A and B are shown apart, each in its own frame.
Chain A
Amino acid sequence: MDRKAFISNISESLGRTQSPASPGAHPGRFPDFADAESAAETARTEAANRSSDLLEDAASALATTGWNVHRAETIEDVGDVIASICRGIDATKALRSGHEILDEAQINLALEREGVDLRDMNLDEEMSPDERSDARIAHRKEVFQTDVGITGGDYVIAETGTLVIHPKKGVSRLTSLAPPVHIAVMKRGQVLPSLDELFLLEHVDIHSGNRHAGMNLISGPSRTGDIEATIVHGIHGPVETHIVLVG
């Protein structure tokens, strides 16, 4: 139906002839954008200042939501941790995202030593539209035949044991979803205390023009309780999720 007619029916149902010019004070946490901006600034500073404590909180919350938590003292240790997870699950094929932390950790070298075939999925700027489309189709096939997906991420939420990833160029939505095992690498300083800080930062970022096509909050392996309320992991997403915390 026509949008105008739909909206004017709602206005009329609310006892007026048209939408109000302003909705009045919003009862949420940040009715004023300036307040949100300064609160976001404070949240970022706090997260940096309390990074060690928050990392410990995150480690225990992540374990509660079903993540296998691995600790690495330095970025140099990450390669070995990932190699040993891959060994444990007999992985032969892996797919990685373009997150920088994976380059810093030189996981390509570590997995090559382990004999794991590691691929990434980069759409070259130079590709023609047809080539891009072919590359996308190939990627979608490949990701379902891969043993493990390896990614970084944007935040970890200590309140809920959650990894947050924005899908974007180089960060496929499927790498953390389709393979039976997902390994994420995150470091100290990326932990936020709660969902309040996450959605505050997202609110401010989007309004400041830093908008992604979406955001995924991942809290442990995929699960279902739809058959006689028995909890089973891995219905559509990964059966097993690992997170390596650096620092």
Chain B
Amino acid sequence: MEPTTKTFNTAASRALADVRLQQAHEVVYNGFHRARIAAAADTDEWEAQRTLGKAIKDHTIANLDYYLEMLADNVEKNGGNVYFASDGEDANSYVRKLAAQNDVQTVIKSKSMVSEEMGLNHVLETDGIEVVETDLGEYIIQLAGESPYHIIAPAIHKTKEQVADLLAEESNTARQETAEQLTRQAREMLREVFQRADMSVTGANFAVAETGSIVLVTNEGNGRMATSMPRIHVAAMGMEKLIPSVADLSAMLRILIRSATGQRISCYVTMVNGPRAHDEEDGPEEFHLIIMNNGRDRLLRDESLREALNCIRCGACMNACPVYRKVGGHSYGWVYPGPIGSIVSPVFTGLKEGHKLPAASSLCGACHEACPVKINIPRMLLELRSQTAQGDPDPAQRASGFGERMTWKAWRQGMMSRRRFDAGSTVGKIVTSPLKRDGWLTKAPPPVSGWTASRDFPAPAPKSFGKLFAERTKAVKDD
């Protein structure tokens, strides 16, 4: 997927003016966010589970090289294949080759954010292969030609009427009305595809290093179809998505699912330990695991940002975020929206492209509070703001301009001396006096016009506090 993080401001303004989207955001908040809080309250030792989850992820990421080798060895021991992909293009070329070798006509997808990073659908379609998303939300999005709005609820912004049009047009059958009828219609359409698909591409909610397993969490059952019907199963994962042991799964699944939808457990959790056994009746003959880097090593390298790799992609930070709930998922301009997206996207695209994302936060801390593995997102947003101003040693990647940096340098000098501060405030009073209306500055000229476009600034007082203080102290003394 081509990132469009640069246009955050215009995309956000558009979303803010869209009444339908604002209603969808309410659903995210009232549905998922409240359900998560209730589920947490209902779980024994919730805090202990979070602490354990964080410890497991910290340990895994600190030993990522060790555990990835273990995972790869065990997948191969189980009869599967492993491919390490440096980026999306590398991963795509592996899938293309595999499809060509096996004369694959139809690929079914079961929700995979990594394949969104890869832009896999487009690439396979170019090769003349039919690609069908099978998560209902993703299917709707695919028919609409859009990208997912939310990592858990990709089509939350679509109305029933829009869905009805899309399904009727695609299937050439009667237009349905209720959510129930539309779901039945999609069931029939997708069952037909399941039966002729040669290959499936899924994500992996977790990979288990010690056993070479992957785990899929779904409510719909498409993850199970994808691991039962086609001859070849390909799972694509980001290189951080692993945990050491099967015994870790109970805590990890609890915090993932309860944070994502507030359910105690999703309808289906599917563990895959490789291709089917030789005497099994169904299941894929081949299993391939793609482990993708795609810029994740930049997070690993930077110790102040490494924690972002603990993310288990539950979406809780988005649901909790007051900014996400207004600007919506598409404004963020890449695969992962919301608070965690504001960290991973700018690191992926470079700060010059993505620096607006870490700035679009009130630092209220709701994401940190909601995160099941306690990722300190606000701390990292501040870190990225600081890197935006000065951190990147490559000046071409520095997002702040020369003028801006000089302004802040001058500000710092001014604030460090009483004399310069007083002189500065006198100059400020003189400069702003023509703009003063009833004690407020309501319309400033560029480059600060942006500030007064949506709010007023109090005009400097006729006499500064410093001056008044000096005068009154003198008056008291004179008495």
Contacts and interface: CB of A to CB of B under 8 A. Distances in A.
A26 B59 contact: yes
Contacts of A214: 213, 227, 270-273, 283
Given A65-B265, A219-B266, A173 B69 contact: no
B297 A9 contact: yes
A169 B279 contact: yes
Q: Which of B183, B211, B274 has the most A CB atoms < 10 Å from its CB?
A: B183
A226 B224 contact: no
Interface stretch (A80-88, A108-116, A198-206): A198-206
B20 to A, nearest CB: 11
B239 A28 contact: no
A226 B186 CA distance: 11
Contact of B183 (A136, A167, A202, A234): A234
Sort chain A's interface into a size bin: 35 or more
Interface string A224-247: 111111101011110000000000
Contacts of A223: 219-220, 267
B262 to A, nearest CB: 11
B132 interface: no
B250 A14 contact: no
Interface in B123-180: 134-137, 140, 153-156, 158-160, 163, 179-180
Given A123-B279, A218-B268, A227-B182, A140 B229 contact: yes
B68 interface: yes
A203 B208 CA distance: 11
A169 B182 CA distance: 36
Interface stretch (A52-60, A68-76, A154-162, A183-191): A154-162
Nearest to B90: A1
Contacts of B27: 228-229
Given A14-B300, A216-B270, A229-B156, A235 B246 contact: no
B11 interface: no
A172 interface: yes
B56 A28 contact: yes
Nearest to A139: B281
Contact of B84 (A6, A20, A237): A6
B302 to A, nearest CB: 9
Contact of A203 (B64, B66, B220, B246): B246
A229 B274 contact: no
Contacts of B269: 162, 216-217
Interface residues of B, number: 93
Contacts of B245: 26, 28, 30, 203
Nearest to B225: A236
Contact of B159 (A169, A228, A235): A228
Given A172-B282, A206-B246, A226-B154, A10 B64 contact: yes
A215 to B, nearest CB: 4
A196 B239 contact: no
A224 B250 CA distance: 23
Contacts of B67: 23
Interface in B258-297: 264-277, 279-283, 291, 293, 297
Interface string A135-151: 01001110010000000
Interface in B420-473: none
A152 to B, nearest CB: 16
A222 B160 contact: no
Given A3-B82, A9-B297, A13-B300, A121 B267 contact: no
A237 B283 contact: no
B244 interface: yes
Contacts of A221: 267
Given A10-B68, A225-B153, A212 B84 contact: no
Contacts of A29: 52, 247-248, 251
Interface stretch (B187-195, B326-334, B335-343, B350-358): B187-195
A93 to B, nearest CB: 16
Nearest to A237: B221
A235 B301 contact: no
Contacts of A168: 277, 280
A123 B280 CA distance: 8
Interface in A18-52: 18-20, 22-24, 26-30, 36
Nearest to B161: A228
Contacts of A22: 66
Contact of A173 (B59, B183, B282): B282
A57 B268 CA distance: 20
A144 B282 CA distance: 13
Given A169-B280, A214-B272, A226-B137, A235 B187 contact: yes
A227 to B, nearest CB: 4
A195 B251 CA distance: 8
B160 A226 contact: no
Contact of B66 (A3, A9, A20, A139): A20
Given A199-B249, A225-B153, A234-B183, A123 B56 contact: no
Nearest to A143: B282
Interface in B361-395: none
Contacts of B275: 213
B103 interface: no
A162 B130 CA distance: 35
Interface string B236-256: 000100001111111101100
12 contacts: A1-B84, A7-B65, A13-B297, A28-B248, A139-B282, A167-B276, A195-B254, A214-B283, A227-B160, A228-B27, A237-B220, A237-B221
Given A195-B265, A228-B158, 14 more contacts: A10-B64, A19-B63, A141-B195, A162-B269, A173-B280, A199-B249, A202-B246, A213-B274, A217-B268, A219-B267, A222-B267, A224-B137, A229-B153, A230-B179
Interface of B: 27, 31, 52, 55-56, 58-59, 62-69, 72, 78, 82, 84-86, 90, 134-137, 140, 153-156, 158-160, 163, 179-180, 182-184, 186-187, 190-191, 194-195, 210-211, 213, 219-222, 224-225, 227-229, 239, 244-251, 253-254, 264-277, 279-283, 291, 293, 297, 300-301
Interface of A: 1-3, 6-11, 13-14, 18-20, 22-24, 26-30, 36, 64-66, 121, 123, 136, 139-141, 144, 159-162, 167-170, 172-174, 177, 194-196, 198-200, 202-203, 206-207, 211-230, 232, 234-237
What 4 A-B pairs have minimum CB-CB distances, sorted nearest first?
A237-B221, A226-B137, A230-B179, A195-B250
